[in-house]
Each structure stands twice: as C-alpha cells, then as structure tokens.
A and B are shown apart, each in its own frame.
Chain A
Amino acid sequence: MISSASHELTDPDARDVVHARQGDADAYARIIRRHQVEIGSRMWRFTRDKMEHDELVQEVFVEAYLGLGRFRGEAPLGHWLARIATNVGYKFWKNRYRNLSYSSVPIEEWAEIAATDPEDLDAARAADMLHRLLDQLPPRDRLILTLRYVEDLSVEEAAAQTGWTQTMVKVQAWRARQKLRKLLEQAGIEVN
C-alpha cells in the first residue's frame, strides 16, 4: 500500500490516472498531452491521411478514458495506451478493407525500390509505397507485418500488443509473409 502510494507521488501518470478516474478532466488532459506525440506517431502507420490520423489519435484517448477503470498499473501507462492504439488502428483497417479500392504501384517503381539503397530512398515516397503495398493485404496480415517488421517488435511484444498468443503471432506472421511474397512476385519483383 505504501509503495503504491509513493508510486503515485513519483509517477505523474499514476497520479493523474487516480485523479482522472475520479472525474478530474485536467488530470486526463495532462495524460493526453504527455502521450499524444507517441500515439500520434504510432497511428501514422495506420493512415497517411491527416484528418483520419487526428481522428484515430482522438479515438485512442476516448477509448482509453472509457477503459481507465481496467488499467491496473502493472505496466507503464504508455504500454497500455499502445495496446489500445493497436486495437483502434486494427479496427480502422478492418472497416476500411471492406470497401477498399487498391491503388497499385507501377511495376517499374517496385523494381526501382528493390535496386535502390535504403539511405537513398526518398522517405515520404518510401512511406507512401509501404503503405500502399500493405494496403493490399487483409488487416490481420497487415497488422502483424507492421508490428513485426516495420515496428521491429519481438514475437512476445507483438503478442502483448495484439492480445494474441505467441504461437498465433508466429503462425499469422508466416501466413502474412507468404501473401506478401505473392504480392511482390505479382508486381514482378524477384523474391528469394
């Protein structure tokens, strides 16, 4: 009890969570300001549209507030928010995937990417192409590829983010890789 009380005193997140649960809007606003940059950069992987991005970040914090009673404080608040952000982004992809019109990238552009050094690639163009490539995969595959190979999370970390088992993460990642390979082959890229 003493350690949890002193934890609240030293950790601004823990202190503000307690106050926010009691309905203190200022405390929750402080939490948002502390974490919105991190959440913002995470949600930028789910959309390249600024308006949608803003809405997604907002939704993460609304969901987090509604679930604040379930936050047990065993892990840092940032980790808990990241998990909510992953769920919000995944739901967004699932809704979008239903009526998605693919914007395919011309074959010569893929070939050019394959031949260019990563440091020489234009960052904005690379981000756009990555997004369009993954856009062609089902949300589940896209999520696991993003977590494992774009965010470079371990199997354990990806499992914690998605709420899946580690076995599920491995199986899903393997399937997603097969689909990605097929996509690249269809685009005319030689994949080993």
Chain B
Amino acid sequence: MNEIDFIRKLAHAAGRTESPPVDVSARVLEALRSREDEAWAPLAWVAGFALAAALPVAVMAFHVLDGWSDPTLNVYYAFRWVML
C-alpha cells in the first residue's frame, strides 16, 4: 500500500459520513448588512468633522456679511444733506 492508497482508503470510508445541515442565508444577509453599516461609519465621522469645522465659518461669514454695506449707500449717506 502506498501513501495515496492509504489516503484514498480513508477518504472512501469517510465519504459515507454526511456533513451537518446548514442554513446560513439569514446570517449571511445580516453579516452583509452590518458590513454595509460599517462601511458607512468612517464617512459619517468625516461628515461630522466637516460639519463641526464648517459651523464656526458659517457663523463668522454671516456676521461679516451682516456688517457689509453697499458702497453706493455709503455715497448716499455722505451726500444725503445735498439731496435734502
């Protein structure tokens, strides 16, 4: 008997055993869903940081814009007495 005969002999006998029943469909779909959620998680962090950075800029921009005035109005105010 050579090494392959030996393996084949065992494999032949082992072939009569049955593998345990499996039903993995629900678990696979669940695993895929949680993977998708995990894939979005880093993006959510990036979005959160971007929002946190953008908020002070937006508030500052609002104040700056609020303080701006139309240059033509400045001219109007300077010469208002003439118009009056």
A residues contacting B by CB (< 8 A) are: 25, 28-29, 32-33, 36-37, 39-41, 43-44, 50, 53-54, 57-58, 61-62, 65, 113-114, 118-119, 121-124, 126-127, 129-130, 133-134, 145, 149-150, 177, 180-181, 184, 189-192
Contacts and interface: CB of A to CB of B under 8 A. Distances in A.
29 contacts: A25-B29, A28-B32, A29-B29, A32-B28, A33-B23, A36-B22, A36-B24, A37-B22, A39-B22, A43-B19, A44-B19, A54-B20, A57-B24, A58-B27, A62-B28, A62-B31, A65-B28, A114-B6, A121-B10, A123-B13, A123-B17, A126-B13, A145-B7, A149-B11, A150-B11, A150-B14, A177-B3, A184-B6, A189-B1
A187 B26 CA distance: 45
Interface of B: 1-4, 6-29, 31-32, 35
A149 B2 CA distance: 13
Contacts of A118: 9, 12-13
Contact of A130 (B7, B16, B20): B7
Nearest to A125: B13
B21 to A, nearest CB: 7
A184 B4 CA distance: 11
Nearest to B29: A25
Nearest to A185: B3
A53 B3 contact: no
Contacts of A43: 19
Contact of A54 (B2, B22, B32): B22
Contacts of A36: 22-25
Contacts of A61: 24-25, 28
Given A53-B19, A149-B8, A58 B2 contact: no
A180 B20 CA distance: 28
Q: Which of A39, A50, A57 is packed against the most chain B CB atoms within 10 Å? A: A57
Given A58-B31, A150-B7, A32 B24 contact: yes
B14 A33 contact: no
Contact of A29 (B15, B17, B25): B25
A126 B22 contact: no
Contacts of A123: 13-17
A145 to B, nearest CB: 6
Nearest to B22: A40
B37 to A, nearest CB: 14
A41 B43 CA distance: 39
B32 A65 contact: yes
